[in-house]
Amino acid sequence: MAGAIATAPPGPLVSLLVVALVVVGSFFLTVGTIGLLRLPNVYNRLHATSKATTLGASGIALAAWAYFGPGGAGMKALVTVLFLFLTAPTGGHMISRAAQRMGVEFEEGVTWPGRVDETPEQPADGNEHD
């Protein structure tokens, strides 16, 4: 390729870091997938997938950053991590609110302090909206 700049392969410490981040990321993605398949309801599945897959995908993106360096593809990997940490909690919250409003039941026998068994008629912020 004309104009391509050849770069040296990463050193042994960087390679070790990349392998460790990929292994950790793959572990969390696997745990999230198992949780999605095995857990009984939407709320439990949502907890498993939103937490584990965010950490897993972030681990793999950080491995890409460590491999490619701070510029170009490495910067895209860091932006991906930032995007994941900003959007995953919002998406998880939206899915759980939609499930609650649709009347999806919680697991039988699960209790916690302050649990409300019915969806309130008033919005969560306590103000009346028109």
Q: Look up residue 36 and give its amino acid.
A: L
* Of 17 and 125, more confident: 17
Q: What is the pLDDT of residues 49-93, one digit of tens each?
A: 888 889 999 999 999 999 998 888 889 999 999 999 999 988 888
Residue 64 CA: distances (Å) to CA of 31, 61, 92: 21, 5, 25
Q: What is the mean pLDDT of residues 25-47?
A: 90
At 13 the pLDDT is 93
Instruction: Kindly state the helix (H) or strand (E) to which residue 95 belongs, with its residue range.
Output: helix 73-101
For the cut 70, the answer to whether the pLDDT of residue 15 exceeds it is yes
For the cut 60, the answer to whether the pLDDT of residue 95 exceeds it is yes
At 39 the pLDDT is 86
Mean pLDDT score of the chain:
83
At 48 the pLDDT is 84
